[in-house]
Structure 1
Amino acid sequence: MNYLNKLPGFIKAPSGLEWILFKKLPLIFSIGTAAPCIPMLILYFSNDPLQREQQQVIYQLLGVLFSTWFFVGAIAIGCIVVTIMKGPAYVADPYELPKENKKLEHPPNW
């Protein structure tokens, strides 16, 4: 039994924006990680004790960092799904229906 039966005569869709975006994701991820990390590390590793406002800035930058990671991951998953959907079509194996029994179609009190 062959598990992956390709649909005969299927025309594969050309790749589009998903590959362009998928190839740019490492750059977007690295810039999106470096942008909030650099000021956060400068504040954190300065010799002065952190003030309340500086701690709030660090927490906000952590929120930006995690949001960036979330959005990049969601976009990557979307690109992968679109790529899979544009791939070849597959057909399931046929399932033979059992012979019909007319007695089973009516309830017993009919």
Structure 2
Amino acid sequence: MGYFNKLPGFTQSPSGLEWTLLKKIPRIFLISTFIPCAIILKLYLFNDALNAEQLKIIYQCLGVLFSLWFFIGTVAIGCVVVIVMKGPAYVADPYELPVENKSLENHPNL
């Protein structure tokens, strides 16, 4: 029994934007992580005591940072799904259906 039996006669779709975007995701991730972290580090390193306004900026930067991480992760998962969907089609193992009892179809269920 072969686990991955390809469907005969299936033509693969050409790759498109998903590969280009998937290759750029590490760079996008690093750049989008560096900018909020640089702001946070600047506030922490160049101030002795942080006031309420500076803490608000830090919390906003953390919110932007986590939002960007989730967005980039979602885009990466979407690219992988598109790549898998454009790949070859596989045939599942056959499943024999049980024998039907035709006499049950003639009587209404009570």
What TM-score do you get using the length of structure 1 for normalisation?
Answer: 0.89
Q: In terms of mean alpha carbon deviation, does 40-49 or 4-13 score higher?
A: 40-49
Which residue is 1:68 aligned to? 68
Aligned amino acid, residue 34 of structure 1: F
Q: Deviations over 1:37-62 (max 9, x none)?
A: 01110101224210110000101011
For the structure 1 residues 7 and 55, does the alpha-carbon distance in structure 2 shift closer, same or farther, using more than 3 Å as the test? same
Q: Deviations over 1:47-96 (max 9, x none)?
A: 42101100001010111111111111000000000000000001222222
Unaligned regions of 5+ residues in structure 1, if any? none
Q: Deviations over 1:86-108 (max 9, x none)?
A: 00001222222333322333448
For the structure 1 residues 24 and 101, does the alpha-carbon distance in structure 2 shift closer, same or farther, using more than 3 Å as the test? same
CA RMSD of the aligned region, Å? 1.9
**Distance in structure 1 (CA, Å) of the matches to 2:109 and 2:26:** 68
